[in-house]
Amino acid sequence: MNDLKVPRHVAIIMDGNGRWAQQRGLKRTKGHQKGADTLKTISEYVYDKGVEVLSVFAFSTENWKRDKEEVDYLMNLFIKAFKENFEVIKKKNVKVIFSGLKDRLSKEVLKTMEKMEEETKNNNSGIFNICLNYGGQDEIVNATKRICEKVINNELDIDSLNKTSFEHYLFNELPPIDLVIRTSGEYRISNFMLWQMAYAELYFTDVLWPDFSKKDFDIAINSYTNRDRRFGGIKK
Ligand code: FPP
């Protein structure tokens, strides 16, 4: 049972891998490698705390601008991490889904993603939403195009469209985000899940993602627990 004081949907902007590596005189890719270990630890932890959905920002549509070496490294890291984390995710009965555009991703990355989705599709103890080649504005434009197509083909009555039915056209239909965590001391949302975070509580920490621990996650949850969520209303 989900305690109301526990966020149902947590979204994490995993920032600071590059700086973590640079501070140690290492290549940026070492930071991503350590960041993948952190993600493994945190993704195995959150569902035990009562969280139902974990969304993470793995690769944005803007991240293609990085050096080819870093992009290639990240893509190979995804394949490796998805394969290695697979057994734990399956054991936890968590369903893995991906949000983002499919273009530009290699056949091997797509194959690994499809395999993870297929093999966990009946799991029902939680959802792990990995945003890869993702942009929040793209998601909304993409949904709008699909809706326009339906209207043009007389398959959708425009008057029937509302906030709830719009969500059907997003990459995935997910509950609203309750808590957004961004690491590394940056105070931005960077085009992440714009629709879903409309009423989310925002939590920023200076900790760099590779150093982010279970304890840091607990601190974020405690901060959320003490917030006063009014959703535009007035506290009675
Ligand atoms: C942002 O840090 C991080 C990324 C662009 C990549 C996130 C990827 C991981 C955590 C690796 C594992 C992911 C999966 C899904 C297996 P940055 O490079 O922008 O850091 P900086 O701001 O310090 O340069």
Instruction: Return d(Cα 183, Cα 185) in angstroms, integer.
Output: 6
Average pLDDT for residues 183-196, to the nearest whole number?
Answer: 98
CB of 183 sitting under 6 A from ligand 1:
no
pLDDT tens per residue across span 36-74? 999 999 999 999 999 999 999 999 999 999 999 999 999
What is the Å distance from ligand 1's center to 98 Cα? 16
Q: What are the strands of the beta sheet with 94-99, ordered from one edge?
A: 94-99, 126-134, 53-60, 9-13, 179-182, 201-204
Q: Is 63 a catalytic residue?
A: yes
Please determine, for residue 230, whether its predicted confidence score (pLDDT) is greater than 80.
no
Q: How confident is the model at residue 215 (pLDDT cuts 50, 70, 90)?
A: very high
pLDDT tens per residue across span 90-148? 889 999 999 999 999 999 999 999 999 999 999 999 999 999 999 999 999 999 999 99
What's the confidence (pLDDT) of residue 4?
Answer: 59
What's the confidence (pLDDT) of residue 228?
Answer: 79
Q: Is 15 a catalytic residue?
A: yes
CB of 32 sitting under 6 A from ligand 1:
yes
Closest by alpha carbon to 12, among 74, 62, 54, 61? 54
Q: How confident is the model at residue 231 (pLDDT cuts 50, 70, 90)?
A: confident
Please say whether the dihedral angle defined by the alpha carbons of residues 213, 214, 219 and 220, taken in this order, is positive or negative.
Answer: positive
Please determine, for residue 1, whether its predicted confidence score (pLDDT) is greater than 70.
no
Q: How confident is the model at residue 229 (pLDDT cuts 50, 70, 90)?
A: confident
pTM for the predicted model, two decimal places: 0.95
CB of 96 sitting under 6 A from ligand 1:
no
CB of 63 sitting under 6 A from ligand 1:
yes
CB distance 55 to 11 below 8 Å = yes
Q: Taking all residues of the chain, what is their mean pLDDT, rounded to a whole number?
A: 94
Give the phi and the psi of residue 179 in degrees, each rounded to 5: -140, 130
CB distance 172 to 130 below 8 Å = no
